[in-house]
Structure formats: C-alpha cells, structure tokens
Amino acid sequence: MKPALHFDNADGFGEWRILIGTSAIGKLREFRRSDAKKFKAVYKKIKELSSGQFSDDNRKRLDGGPSGVPIFEASIPPDLMLVYQTDCVPDREGEVSLLVIPQVIKIYGMYTRTQLNAVWDAMSHYLSGRGEEYIKRCIFRNEPVRPDSEVYFPAVFPPVVHEVVAKPPSLVLNDQEIDQVRPFTLASCYDNVVAGLIVKNDVQHEFELTPQEREIVECSTSCYVLGRGGINKTKTMLFKMLKIQREWQLRSECSDLPQPRQVFVTKSSILANNAEEYFVKLLESLSLAGCTLEELERWGSRHVDQELDDYDDVPDIQSGIPLRYSELENHHFPLFLTFDRLARMIAADISDADDPGTKRIVKLFVQSHDPVALDSFVSYEVFLDTYWPHFRQNITKGRDPWLVFKEIIGIIKGSEKSLGFDNGALDRKTYCDLPSRSNPTLSGQRNVVYDIYEAYSRLKCQLQHHDVADRFVNYTSPIREWATDEDLACSYVDEVQDNLLIDALLLRLICSNPDGLFWAGDITQTIFPGNSFRFNDLKAFLYRIEVDQVLCAVKKRAVSSPKSFQLTINYRSHSGIVNCAHSVIDLISRFWPNSIDLFQPERGIVDGLKPVFFSGWGKGIADYEQFLFGASGGHIEFGAQQCILVRDEKAKEKLRQQVGDIGLIMTLYESMGLEFNDVLLYNFFEDSNVGLSHWRLVLTAIDGVVEGRNKSQVRAPCFERDENRYAGLCGELKLLYMGITRARKNMWIVDDSNKAEPMRLFWTSRSQIQNYTPEDLPHLVGSSTPEECAETGRSLFHHKRYTQAMHFFRRTNMPREARVAEAYHFRELARATVGIVLLGEQQRAFAKAAEAFVNCGNEASSREKRQYYRTAAECYARAANDPKEVAVGDRTARGQA
C-alpha cells in the first residue's frame, strides 16, 4: 500500500526529488514577500534541477574537489548562487524492510558570490566520512536521457550495506556556518514548501526521518521513546498520528470505516497547542501538494496571526471540546489537550459519586477557572510563597524548597507505592526505608523532609487547599470502575516526565488498545515540579497495570510487550554543548546509576564551540562591565536570543543591581521549557546548596593529569565511605544539566568560587570546556533585530514569563503588547496575595489588574477583546466586597465589549 505520508509531486516538477533546509525556506519566504522577481527565478531554477537539467551553469563544483562528496552551485542571474548536493535518501514509497535508495537533490541555500565561504570544503570533507559507497552513489550519474541532451534521471540503488568506516572528521564551524548547515537536518520536500509560499501561509513541511525515526512511526506495537531535549520525540509522535489519520482518510474514500480516535496528551498547554498547530499544518501541507496555482491562492485567506492571551484563560466550554469525556464524538479527534484538561473531563464523568470527599475534589478540578479552585490549588509558587515561610526554620534552613516540593509531591504522594495507603501518601517508615541509590536526592534528610511534609499537610488541611496529587486520593477507585462507550485507538503521552507516576494509571485506562500506547519523554528534565521517577519505574508500573488488565479481561489475550527506542541525534544544540551536558549525565550515572535512565550518548549534528568557563577576575562591578560589555563601556543590551541564568530570585535581584537592566536574566526554574542561542550560567556553584566538600566528589572521575595535577594531588574524597552524605549533589548535577541544555550555540559559565573549581577541573580533564581569564575575555553581548525581540517577547509571554516579555516588547516599541503582559503580571501578583496579606490589600491588587485588562480590551480586536474583558470581570469580582460591587465591575468590563 502506498504510504499515507507520501506527497505527490507538485505541478511542473520532474523526476528528481528536491529536499530543502529550513534556512533556505526562510530565504524563499523573504523573496516571496519582498522580491517577486528573485522568487520566480529561484522557483524556475529548482524546477530545472528537479527535471535533471544539469548544464554547466547548473552543476559547477563549489568545494575544492576532486575527492570527497561534491557540493555544487547553480547560477541564478544576476548575482545569486543556489548551493546543493546530490544525496541518496530512502524512497518513501518502499516499506521499511524493502527500501530502495534513489538519488535526490538537497538544497542548502541561496547566496551571493560574496557570501560563499570555505564551509563547503569542510562539509564535503565531513560527508566523506560516511564511507566510500556513499561517496560513489553521490558522484554517480546516469547516462543522459538523449545523447545530445543535458538531462539526467536519478539513479536508484539497493539498500546500502553499512560500511565499517572511521569516525567522520570533526566539522568545527562558527555560528554563521552552523546556521548554514544545521537546518538541513530538517530537510523538507520542495513541492509543499513552494505551495505554502504561494498561499503566503506558514504550512509545515515534511522533513526527512532517520531510519530509527521511521521505525518508530511504523511500529505496530505500543512503544516508549526516550531522548534528551532537541531529539525530535514529539515530531515522530505526530508523524505516527498523521500516518494513522491519513491511512483512514485514504481508506474511507471507498469504505465506511469509523475514524480512529487518537488523543495527544501533555502537561504543558503550550506544547499541546503547538503540537496541534503543527499537526494541522502537516495535514494542510498534504492537501496543498498537487494543487493548482489557483487553488493554492484560495488557501491564503486561512492564515491567522497568533493572539496574545493566556491559553489557560480560555474557558473549557469555549474550546469546542465537551466538558465530559463521555460526550466526545468522532469529529473531535485527533484530540490535543493537557493532562489537567483530560482529568477535568473524566472528573466530570464521575462527579455523581456518593463520597463527599470525591465530590469536593472533583468540583475543584471541574471548575478550574473558579476563584475558589484557583486559590486553593498548591502550585510550586504557592508552596514557596505561602507554605515555606511558615515552616520552622530549623527544618528548612539549607534546604532547596524546589527539591523538597518534588520529594513531597513525586515520592511521598505521587509514587506507585503511595497508591497502597488509604490517605494516598507513604508513611514515615516506608519513606525513610526507600533505597538511597534509586532515590538519592534527599536520602540523608528523609526524617526532616517528612517533618516538612507533615507540617505542609496540616497547613494545607487548615487552608482547605489541594495539590496535584490529591485528585488520586479521592477518585482512584471511581476511575478504575469508570468506562466509556468508545475506546481510543491510540494514546500519545508527550513529556511524560512532567506528570506524576500515578497519573500513568489514568492515561493507561483511557486506552483499551494494548498496542496503541506511545510514551515519550526525558526524565532528566521536567517543567513541572513533582516528577521523581525513571522510565524504568514507569515501564514496571505500566506492566503491572497491563497484567491486571489481561487477568480481568473477558477475552483472553497475551500480555503486550511495548518496544523501547532511544533517539540520540540532537537537532537543537551542537556537539560542543551536547558533549559537555552528557559529561554531567556521566557523573550522575557513575555515582547514582539507579537514579536516572541510562542512555547511549547523544550527539549533535555538527561540532561547535566548547562551552567557555570564565574565572579569576574578582568581584568588582567594573570587572563585570568589562566582561559583559567590552572595553568601550556604555549601556549595551544582550540580544533577544541571549539569556543569563541564575540560581534563584535572590541571585537574580543581586545581579540586576550590579549590572543593571542589560537583558534577559532568569532563574533556572523560570528557564524550564525555553531555549536560547547563547546562555550565560552565572554563579551556579557559588550559590549552590551543597558545600565544596560535596563538589569535590567529581574529582574522583578525573583520569590522568589535569593542569599539572593527577588524581592523588587533587585530594578527591571516597564516595563509598559515606554515600548518603553526597546525595544532595545528585540534584545539583541535574540542575546543572538543565542549565547547560538551554543553550543552542554558545554556553558561558561564569563562576569564581572555590565550589566551581572541581567541575572546572573535571571538564578540563575531558577537554570539554575552554578556560578564559580576565586577560583574554571575549565580547559576549550580541545584537537583535526588532523582529527577533518581538518573537522572543511572544515566546516568553506564552510561557507566562510576563516581566521578561514586557522587557522585549518595550525594547522593540510594542507598547500595546507590553501593556498586555503587564496586565497579566498584575493578575499574577494579585493571585499571590491570597492568604498572605489582608483582604483590603488583596482586593486593591485585583482591582489594579482589572483596570489594566479593561484598558487592554479597549485597544484589542475581536476575540482578544472578549478575553481581556472576561478576565477583567473576573478580577473585579475578586476585588469586590459585596454583590453590588461585583455587578458594577462585571458591567464595567463586559459592557465595553
């Protein structure tokens, strides 16, 4: 059967399949907007290449040659050069086991003569590392179609027999050269690229899957997909969904097949919305390929600009999705939603339960936009601001509140063992007896952590609050008995590490198809505090659920055996950053192997600059200014894709006072889920919650001599003598890993403390960093265009980083957007006053937010206007003393719509 992901050739294109990198797509979009003549010239040239018209002007070798993989240029008058190569890529029409390998054309980009540089010599040399057979296939050319013509058809080869070849030579590039080469790993099929350009719509284009990614998409059983950030886990998941959806669409044209019910679930509303948008664009691009120019033009009107509001503010009833899970119909699928939204829908189905506790918790989850529900939910921010200051200082001093909160929610209340206790939480003995090797973070402090948990539980009960783990305490039993008339065909859970382990029970029970489960994630990184499990824990838990399902099934079947995959190609960061980050994973695996999933080393698609470690200049403000701004002085800002990461709010405020408003400064917690071209990790070790004696443990991992010292001279401690003593270092290393992996291009580590020295020596011994001192400081500050600042501002806004978004909106002269971000910031501040300050101060804070939203609504359009007024009305209601004031505020907001 013809695969569902196949795109038919666009009108006018020839036998050669054209693949094009994302940077080249950006250049084409630029031509489409500003220079129609250039766009038509490039379009014509690519059509010529797709037809195999290899004249001298179309096939001039650009690299030094004659050995290696040829890189060609095709001339586009008057002054452009199209750079491409002949490559060999598996045919999409073959089954995975019966692939044929045709020649294709890969386009790197369009450049002027002055923009061409030596990167193509390096690229040719690098590609040659794939082996002699690959080189021969790239060079080979069929005989011309006719003896007197310059037209050639692509050759087709049998599946390649993998050669044993040496490791490809390093491809060390600067930032500009990386930008030219890296995007090509997401090569797109040109026919639907040009279709999207014609309709002036940002449709999503097919990209080339690696053989392993293809295997995941074609996998017929349930599967686990593990991989670090930037590994394409989500895209393989969406392509699998697309394959099933397209197969149904093609088959339903000649038969009345029911639509497969597929649901994509993730914790983050941003990821859920982005995944749905990406999926819809993939479907659109399938529809666009093969359309006539007239048909394509009619698609242009479908493009809608992204609005500036909080995804979580949109009421469930307005999303087009029923409030109850049981009311879903076929036309709602494929369905993309957050886990919390899914839990609310199922809670609505079981809301008729007789138990009063279940009724109260269910009501809070169903009415998630209700002020009582919002005020009573304990997020990490609420735990930090409302709970932590009320605990006795002797149990909180020197402890990281984020790690403690993770331990309470993820282990004491959210682990598999907690399901065996009536109150949904481990007792003190069970918790303290957990093995330290698999739960090392706070293993030496468990009695004290349990004291904090008990204090937390008492205060939570007193305030009538609830947290994310409480929902399972009250409706685990109803969920096991709950059933729907329609079963899911497939359930896809992305970033599974952001959920509690016990959440997997609900996610498993909604899909009765044992071969329709897809779990993807990276346990070393989580956006939401509370996660404290490994993939192996998840697999074991789901296996036990599966066994129960098989034993209880009316129709007997075998226990399903999901297949596991690990993706290792990092498309986000280059190898310089990837290797440094993986060395941190090596340390965790060395000392606490049971605390983390052991992966094969990931690799970047190109090499790049190693992270830079700065030390040795002292604490003077003048030194900081020279370091950040260079010798010229003056007020210079960091670029839109540059970020300074610090340990916590206290460290952020201290640095801001020292260097002023120089750009984006974020805490590590705030940076979760974000990424930047350049990241400066500032005083991570100096502000660490563990001491120098703990950090010295990493010195035991040094082999050989570093800076003239061997292992015996650096006085490394013995881990085996007191393993519990060093348990806190495991959490510190995970935070360090997260900080490093925020960077795409450049990673700068700034720390002059003694606690930083062990890691600096460790990295130096592995040649994974560059060491800089005051004598050779580089200039770090970059510049950004207004468009880049606006894009960063929107990204920060949708990640609820409102103050940072305000900074970039103001910087790029977008006052309306800055006022919107400020209104959301005011509401955030008002919510933080609940239960903390006197009622009058709380009401004034909500009134201030309400007025800001009214002003935003006055200058907004259509749906944004309605949303701002609705939010203003909600804030007015929180600011009122009596029903009359509520009514006045409601009319003030809603009456202006």
Residue 888, number of CB atoms within 10 A of its CB: 12
- What is the C-alpha to C-alpha distance for residues 568 and 571, in angstroms, rounded to an integer? 9
- What is the C-alpha to C-alpha distance for residues 411 and 500, in angstroms, rounded to an integer? 9
Q: At what angle do helices 839-858 and 883-894 cross, to 10 degrees?
A: 20
Poorest-confidence range of 508-517, 719-728, 754-763? 719-728
CB contact set of 615 (below 8 Å; sequence gap of 6+): 750, 751, 752, 756, 760, 771, 772, 773
- Mean pLDDT over 876-889 rounds to 62
pLDDT tier at 536, thresholds 50, 70, 90 = confident
- Residue spans of beta strands (DSSP E) within 464-515: 490-493
Residue 20, number of CB atoms within 10 A of its CB: 26
- What is the C-alpha to C-alpha distance for residues 202 and 199, in angstroms, rounded to an integer? 9
Contact criterion met (CB below 8 Å) for 262 and 334: yes
- Mean pLDDT over 726-752 rounds to 88
Position 804 pLDDT exceeds 90 = no
Instruction: State residue 858's pLDDT score.
Output: 92
pLDDT digits (tens, 9 = 90+) for 372-386: 666 778 888 889 888
Instruction: State residue 197's pLDDT score.
Output: 45
Q: Which of 5-14, 106-115, 768-777, 880-889 is modeled with the greatest confidence?
A: 106-115
Q: Tell me the two tokens of residue 387.
A: 């709970």
Q: List residues bridging with 570 in a β-sheet.
A: 604
pLDDT tier at 175, thresholds 50, 70, 90 = low
Residue burial 215-251, b: 16+ Cβ < 10 Å; e: rest: ebbbbeebbbbbbbbbbbbbbbbbbbbbebbbbbeee
Poorest-confidence range of 423-427, 620-624, 718-722, 849-853? 620-624
Q: Tell me the two tokens of residue 161.
A: 């027999």
What DSSP assignment string belongs to 377-431?
A: B--HHHIIIIIGGGS-HHHHTT--HHHHHHIIIIIITTSGGGGGSTTSS--HHHH
Q: Of 116, 22, 104, give the one whose Cα is nearest residue 60.
A: 116
pTM of the full predicted structure? 0.76
pLDDT tier at 708, thresholds 50, 70, 90 = low
